Amino acid sequence: MNMDKNKGDEKRVTLVLFSGEMDKALAAFTIANTAAAMGMQVTIFFTFWGLNVIKRPGRGRGGRGWMRRMLNWMNRGNARSLPLSKFNFAGLGPWMMKRLMREQRMLPLEEMIAQAHKLGVNMLACSTSIGLMGLSKDDFIPEVETIAGAATFLNEARQAEVNLFI
Amino acid sequence: MNMDKNKGDEKRVTLVLFSGEMDKALAAFTIANTAAAMGMQVTIFFTFWGLNVIKRPGRGRGGRGWMRRMLNWMNRGNARSLPLSKFNFAGLGPWMMKRLMREQRMLPLEEMIAQAHKLGVNMLACSTSIGLMGLSKDDFIPEVETIAGAATFLNEARQAEVNLFI
Amino acid sequence: MNMDKNKGDEKRVTLVLFSGEMDKALAAFTIANTAAAMGMQVTIFFTFWGLNVIKRPGRGRGGRGWMRRMLNWMNRGNARSLPLSKFNFAGLGPWMMKRLMREQRMLPLEEMIAQAHKLGVNMLACSTSIGLMGLSKDDFIPEVETIAGAATFLNEARQAEVNLFI
């Protein structure tokens, strides 16, 4: 009997999304939304460059001090404007990828995020990265309800069957 | 007593191989083959750029539409011709790495893949990526028996003790 | 009752640190040190480029044969001199990141490593990578007590609740 894997059929997935690249974000949300649709409880912890995936368009470019402003200006972007980790070609790659996805009737990333929210995927933004970059809750899309630290992530992760760092 | 970790000694490992780089593929197959040799049940789910690791040499360069053909031509490659994630230098890095590996009596990647197959490692190719890139089963080496989606991966992963995204 | 998750409250985390970049190393040690402070048993397995994080400053640049010497010279670096995976700008990015971290009263990476050691985090260096690069135990900081292979890592990982590949 496989007791440990059947705690009332409740299974958990936690993903750390560290990368701010379109292809990795697509992988993360494909896994998250599939797991949620299968009835699993899913948490995504957005940290470092991964925060770009949940930035509100046009926001998050400021911050206290010239270094933060420079970093945040260079690091601007949101779900609609992420680079590819390969073959980015100044945005040509992502443009082509989006066309191929549409042709395959795949949802674009921003709609996968909305779908994740509807499916009950829990999205947490990393407080340490946010502090470092001088961002605030308002810089993120409303689907992200909680800003939390590594301890909150670990508390979820140690109860989860599937943990991935993306 | 540690019941949950000793279900008839059957332990499982699932790896997502997202990266198409030689160094990451070596890490994945070192873990996979060691785990399989230790008696663990291993699944590798190849997705996105990781599909290059299992492409049949000379195949997978076409596809429907000029965008797919361009993508697949740029993204050509197989286990024998993957770049390094660092110090690639247009192929000089991988060439040196292969020489160093031979000197250390390590198997080259293509032989590690054959060994994985012999050890019973289950290799799945991601159906979503394959659809996106316009590839087909024939574009992959025969060791890859199954094309499957995220649900199949998650079903394996939630029964596994070790899950890694590489 | 959730037996499998409460084996005497002992929970385990294993991290594979494959990347030699400052931002990924910071993520790894933030997770490791938080987990250790929460009473979890933590192991970090340093492999490939991740070995740079634990190199002793000024060491690890030699090796047998010109290829190893060239590789190790190009790949020189330690916790104080790692690049960023994004916006590195020949070292300007890491310099700015360190200033922002200091402003936020975050520990620099080398102090996070010392803290990890004090908290009992178990640091293993990958024997296969070390052999490949022609390094030896003396090339690493004393906090790293053990050189071990993939089997040792897997033996830890299959007993852990949280496994991440970074």
166 residues of chain A, pLDDT tens digit each: 344 444 445 799 999 999 999 999 999 999 999 999 999 999 999 999 999 999 999 999 888 899 999 999 999 999 999 999 999 999 999 999 999 999 999 999 999 999 999 999 999 999 999 999 999 999 999 999 899 999 999 999 999 999 999 9
- Compute the distance between CA of residue C80 and CA of residue C82 in angstroms, rounded to an integer: 6
C-beta of residue A42 within 8 angstroms of C-beta of residue A60: no
C-beta of residue A49 within 8 angstroms of C-beta of residue A22: no
- Compute the distance between CA of residue A117 and CA of residue C91 in angstroms, rounded to an integer: 38
Q: How far is CA A51 from CA A10, A59, A127, B102, in A?
A: 28, 12, 11, 41
- Compute the distance between CA of residue B160 and CA of residue B41 in angstroms, rounded to an integer: 9
Token pair 């649900």: residue: B151
Q: Which positions in chain C touch A3 (Cβ < 8 Å)?
A: 3-4
Q: Nearest CA to B156 among B14, B4, B61?
A: B14
Q: How many CB atoms lie within 10 A of CB C111?
A: 12
Query: CB distance from C159 to chain B under 8 Å?
Result: yes
Q: Which positions in chain B touch A100 (Cβ < 8 Å)?
A: 67-68, 71, 132-133
Q: Is ipTM > 0.85 here?
A: yes
pLDDT digits (tens, 9 = 90+) for C27-56: 999 999 999 999 999 999 999 999 999 999
Query: Residue C150 is nearest to which of B4, B31, B85, comparing CB atoms?
Result: B31
> Which chains border B (3 or more CB–CB pairs < 8 Å)?
A, C
**Best residue in C5, C9, C18 to probe B by mutation, most B CBs within 10 Å?**
C18
Query: Residue B100 is nearest to which of C68, C154, C165, comparing CB atoms?
Result: C68
Q: Nearest CA to A94 among C134, B67, B119?
A: B67
Token pair 């640049």: residue: C61
Going edge to edge, which strands form the sheet with A162-165? Answer: A146-148, A122-126, A41-46, A12-17, A162-165
Exposed, middle or buried, C122 (CB in 10 Å: 0-12/13-18/19+)? buried
* DSSP per-residue letters across B59-105: -S---SSHHHHHHHHHT---TTSPPPSSS-GGGHHHHHHHHHHHHTT
Listed by number, the residues of chain C in 122-141 with a beta carbon closer than 8 Å to a beta carbon of chain A are none
Exposed, middle or buried, A4 (CB in 10 Å: 0-12/13-18/19+)? middle
Q: Is the dihedral of CA C129, C133, C138, C140 positive or negative?
A: negative
Q: Which domains does chain C have, with CATH numbers?
A: 8-165 (3.40.1260.10)
